[in-house]
Amino acid sequence: MKHIFCLAVWILVCAAVSVSAQDDAAKVPSLQDARTDFDVFDYMYGETGKIDKDLDKKQQAALRADIFMASSDKLMEIAKEENDSRNARRVRLFAFQAQIEAEIEGAEQRLEAFLNELAAREATRCEAEGLRFELFVSDAMKTIDTPEGYDAFKSGLKSWIYRNIDTDIKDFGMYIRADRIGSGMLRVAEVREGDTEQFLAELIAELNEYIQSAECTLSAKDKETAVHEFEQTLELVQFGQFYQKAYETVDSPESFDTFKAELKSWINRKTVNVDDIPSLALLLAEKNGIPAEQIMDELIAFLQSPECTSRYKSRLPDDWQKLLLTAYGSELKLYGRTLDDKDFDWDGLRGKYVLVQFTATWCGPCHAELPGMKEVYAKYHNKGFEIVSLYVFERGVNPVAEIKEHVDNSKLPWIVISETLTEKAGQPKYEESFAISSVPTMLLVDKTGKIIMTNARSKALQTKLAEIFE
């Protein structure tokens, strides 16, 4: 599932990256030279970015369809096993959708035949259902602001609540089904006009009423799971709104105290992802110049108090304490083995400003950062600026070889560290030492080794380095 998720994120990133990245699009490998999934995604992004915006929508869609179809063929060619070819099938779905948008004759029939073929095979039957759900959500996003579209969406969701429950594949049981429906509702809610939270609350209330009715044939356990997932979807929106409001309004010690009190109440929510809580707290502490230790000590004290009812309270303190090691104002203690299997000399970089990037060869958003990183490296390297990329969470038979190939193809001129070689040398994984759980994670470190920026990406990084060096 991680490959599919990364593809979805990569498609979104491609639509929103900066102009400087667009200028670099011509430098990506050709489709013929592509060797990994993300080489193909780079090609897709580069080619779709070149489509003439003066063409009418049908012509643009036809060109996109050709790019997606060729990319799907290449992804299928480089896939090593059934699971690896999921990205190819997802991109093929995009190709058929673009063909339909371009009104190419026979596109709808070819799409239906493609999905039927997947549904006929046991190994891809559930995947076919997932792709059909993608189509259902895509259609709803176009029609949700009409009364007919809203009614069709509600009716369709009820059928998807228990569709294909008899699968023998554990990963596609009711939990995934309900989670998928929740994420689909969220995507549709975010594109419609009006209050997202109110829309979701009303929709979920209606679905929950349906689930508890005799009309819904789910088991009692699956009904409970579905209700939980829908509640989590709603709370995700509520937490996002709390996050946005806090980021915009917390700008003083007094407002920070109010924010802390509200944040503690979120820890006790049954469905909220508590792993997001300290990250938000540290972000706002950084924004307001408040020591990271101060807010973290308060949150941990709350966890250990009788007021806290979170079922995760016993495991959280150690995990949250590790976050301080990469928090604003902390002195970073970096270690590792470089690609030539030599000890990395972190102390040797004192006196320089250093961008530390935790990344991976398969990470699309990480790829999107490279043009901007190359730009600032060329601009400031001779003025005392360095970059260190640490490749983590790598998979495959020979991760080191894949990293070397990626570094060579991307022509990266800075220091590169392999977690695989680091671990072989007897040093711990970075997720164990620093609680690094996602990529890209990008930190800017000053001349003394102290972290001065924890989200050092894109325009924010460029602005900060301009302040330092210009």
pTM of this prediction? 0.70
Q: Averaged over 159-179, what is the pLDDT?
A: 57
Same domain as 36, residue 169: yes
Does the pLDDT value for residue 264 go beyond 60? yes
Residue 100, pLDDT > 70, answer yes
Looking at residue 74, its pLDDT comes to 93
Are 318 and 389 found together in one domain? no
Spatial neighbors of 311 by CB under 8 A, at least 6 apart, are 270
**Residues 447 and 308 occupy one common structural domain:** no
- State the average pLDDT for the chain: 85
Is 297 within the bounds of a domain? yes
Does one domain contain both 307 and 370? no
Q: Are 165 and 302 in a shared domain?
A: no
Bridge partners of 441, per DSSP, are: 358
Domain match, 44 and 164 both = yes
**pLDDT for the residue numbered 11:** 43
| pLDDT of residue 33 exceeding 70 | yes
Q: What are the distances in angstroms from CA 21 to CA 5, 187, 386? A: 22, 26, 20
**Residue 166 in this model has a pLDDT that exceeds 50:** no
176 confidence band (pLDDT: 50, 70, 90): low
Same domain assignment for residues 258 and 367: no
Please return the burial class of 308, using the count of CB atoms within 10 Å of its CB with bins 0-12, 13-18 and 19+. Answer: middle
Among 74, 69, 109, 106, smallest CA distance to 91 is for 69
In a domain, 208, yes or no: no
Task: Assess whether 97 and 53 both reside in one domain.
Answer: yes
pLDDT given at position 340: 94
Among 154-158, 219-223, 259-263, 332-336, the range scoring the smallest mean pLDDT is 219-223
Q: Give yes or no for residue 44 having a pLDDT over 60.
A: yes
Tens-digit pLDDT profile for residues 276-311 = 788 889 999 998 888 898 899 999 999 899 998 887
Q: Which domain holds residue 106?
A: 2-190
User: pLDDT for 438-449, tens place per residue?
Assistant: 899 999 999 999
Q: What is the pLDDT of residue 41?
A: 83
Looking up tokens 């009716």 gives: 155
Claim to verify: residue 300 and residue 267 sit in the same structural domain:
yes
Strands of the sheet with 415-418, listed across from one edge = 337-338, 415-418, 385-391, 353-359, 441-445, 451-453
DSSP state of 296: H
The predicted pLDDT at position 397 comes to 78
Model confidence at 84: pLDDT above 70: no
Over the stretch 180-199, which tens digit does the pLDDT of each residue have? 788 889 899 989 988 888 99
- Give yes or no for a contact between 393 and 360, defined as CB atoms under 8 angstroms apart: yes
Answer yes or no: is 147 within a domain: yes
Final residue in a domain of this structure, among 294, 325, 356: 325
Q: How far apart are CA 7 and CA 9, in angstroms?
A: 5
- The per-residue pLDDT for 275 is 72
pLDDT at residue 422 greater than cutoff 90: yes
| Least confident window among 60-64, 131-135, 371-375 | 131-135
Please state, in angstroms and rounded to a whole number, the distance separating the CA atoms of residues 77 and 85: 9
User: Does pLDDT of 317 surpass 60?
Assistant: yes
Same structural domain, 183 and 279: no
The structure tokens listed for 18 are: 């900066």
Residue 433 belongs to a domain? yes
Per DSSP, helices labelled H in 102-211 are 107-120, 125-143, 147-161, 174-191, 196-211
**Residues 266 and 342 reside in one and the same domain:** no
31 lies in the same domain as 99: yes
- Average pLDDT on 378-394 reads 96
Quote the percentage of the chain above a pLDDT of 70: 88
**Does any domain span residue 245?**
no
pLDDT for the residue numbered 5: 38
Q: Which pLDDT value is given to residue 271?
A: 67
Give the pLDDT band of residue 418 (cuts 50, 70, 90). very high
Question: Structural domain tally of the chain?
Answer: 3
